[in-house]
Amino acid sequence: MKRSKVGIVGGTGYTGAELLRLLLVHPHVEVAAITSRSEAGQKVGDYFPSLRGRTDLAFSDPESGDLDQCEIVFFATPHTVAASQVGALLAKGIRVIDLSADFRLADKDQWEQWYKVTHPAPGLFGEAVYGLPEVHREAIASARLVACPGCYPTAILLGLLPLLDQDFVDLTSIIADAKSGVSGAGRAAAVGTLLCETSENFKTYAANGHRHLPELIQHATSSAGGRPLGLTFVPHLVPMMRGMEATLYIRRAPSGTSESGNDAGDPLSPQAVHDLFSRYFESEPFVDVLPLGQHPETRSVKGTNICRIGIFRQPGDGPIIISSVIDNVVKGASGQAVQNMNLMLGLPEIAGLDYTALLPG
């Protein structure tokens, strides 16, 4: 079978390197071009010793034209880079998967307010399909521009989805308490991610409003059929390299029944919520709903494209508690991008993504 040619813009960053790790052993595609401004001409295997012997590719300059041979190009670049460059690729019939936030929001003014810069491609607003396969699988398959979700929205939305269109849930009081490994900040991040700054330390950041908040609200509201949604989202930085955990607190709608959470017939009992999640994700290859009472761990998904979910409730009529874990660099970025690519190329969705986490890892 002929392999489809794919290219990567931003090959020296964390998500670019992770795309390489996944794509160089993918059975149906060939990485034909990978760009870096700073390392153009350098052999990929010399730059990343982990990839020695896996490829003869060298980084090329983004302006070299090497991407033109590709059927699909990934942008693993900071915000605004994809928006500046995708127009030219789309005009040549090349499909694009953007890992950055350039096309995740529907409203240009809102995007500019949160990203504090003028959007370089206003004409492409509304064009991209949001690359969360669990919601938009069919649209992704035929899309020419896919906007991969942020890592926090991936973990949080997957933990909320089955509940969003349920009348018994109070959508106005959801709390998402999320923690990310340091790699989430990218390789180019400076002092804030140094070992001395992050080890033996734990902190909130962007508690006044993280830029993933409008992305979360937009896509959760859409899955809730437009019902108004109130979400408090606070991210934390934890001293580990990879991994993300989101603890979600979801309360009963004021009009809902208020019997004890364990009563038969109570839609907010742990068993009922577990049944709902199990049915919802039954045929999803990358979402694993744990048996009741089991706590998901980030190390159980490290290096994999899996989102693992646990469901809990404390005695009384308190909130349902969902714990959702992903590897921020895989399901939160590059793995999800490959999952989207598989859909776009009509390949099995799990092709090149069937990994098990390292333990210990």
Q: What is the dihedral of CA 98, 102, 108, 110, to 10 degrees?
A: 120
Residue 339 contact partner, candidates ligand X2W, ligand NDP, none, CB within 5 to 8 A by sort of partner = none
Q: Which is nearer to ligand NDP, 81 or 341 (CB)?
A: 81
Q: Of 70-99, which residues contact ligand NDP (CB under 6 A)?
A: 76-79, 81, 99
Question: Is residue 66 within the footprint of ligand NDP (CB under 6 A)?
Answer: no
Whole-angstrom Cα distance, residue 286 to residue 331?
8
> Please, what is the Cα angle at 131 between 38 and 346, to 5 degrees?
100
148 in active site: no
Q: What 3-state class would DSSP assign to 30?
A: strand
Contact pattern for ligand X2W over residues 169 through 188, marking x by CB under 6 A: -----------x---xx---
Residue 237 contact partner, candidates ligand X2W, ligand NDP, none, CB within 5 to 8 A by sort of partner = ligand X2W
CB of residue 152 to ligand NDP, shortest distance in Å: 9
Q: Within 13 Å, how many C-alpha atoms sit on residue 63's CB side?
A: 2
Residue 81 contact partner, candidates ligand X2W, ligand NDP, none, CB within 5 to 8 A by sort of partner = ligand NDP
Residue entry with tokens 């790790």: 21
Question: Is residue 331 within the footprint of ligand NDP (CB under 6 A)?
Answer: no
Q: Are strands 307-313 and 320-326 parallel, antiparallel or unpaired?
A: antiparallel
Under a CB-based contact definition with an 8 Å cutoff, are residues 89 and 121 in contact?
A: no
CB of residue 54 to ligand NDP, shortest distance in Å: 18
Residue 13 contact partner, candidates ligand X2W, ligand NDP, none, CB within 5 to 8 A by sort of partner = ligand NDP
Question: Is residue 339 within the footprint of ligand X2W (CB under 6 A)?
Answer: no
| b/e burial code for range 78-91 (CB count within 10 A of at least 16 → b) | ebbbbbebbeebbe
Question: Is residue 192 within the footprint of ligand NDP (CB under 6 A)?
Answer: no
Tell the burial category of 296 from Cβ atoms under 10 Å away from its Cβ (0-12, 13-18, 19+).
buried
Q: Binding residue for ligand NDP (CB under 6 A) from 7, 23, 34, 36?
A: 36
Whole-angstrom Cα distance, residue 88 to residue 93?
9
Q: Binding residue for ligand NDP (CB under 6 A) from 150, 159, 235, 296?
A: 150
Of 224, 201, 104, whose CA–CA distance to 152 is shortest?
104
Question: Is residue 296 within the footprint of ligand X2W (CB under 6 A)?
Answer: no
> Residue 204 corresponds to which tokens in the numbers above?
């909130």
Question: Is residue 340 within the footprint of ligand X2W (CB under 6 A)?
Answer: no
Question: Is residue 100 within the footprint of ligand X2W (CB under 6 A)?
Answer: yes
Whole-angstrom Cα distance, residue 72 to residue 2?
15
Q: Which is nearer to ligand NDP, 79 or 179 (CB)?
A: 79
For 109, 252, 281, the CA distances from 286, given in Å and listed in that order, are 34, 28, 9
DSSP 307-320: EEEEEEE-SSS--E
CB of residue 71 to ligand NDP, shortest distance in Å: 20
The active-site residue out of 70, 148, 151, 307 is 151
Question: Is residue 7 within the footprint of ligand NDP (CB under 6 A)?
Answer: no
Q: Which is nearer to ligand NDP, 7 or 10 (CB)?
A: 10
Binding footprint of ligand NDP on the chain (CB under 6 A): 9-16, 36-39, 62, 76-79, 81, 99-100, 150-151, 183-184, 186-188, 328-329, 332-333
Binding footprint of ligand X2W on the chain (CB under 6 A): 100-101, 150-151, 180, 184-185, 212, 235, 237
Name the residues annotated as catalytic. 151
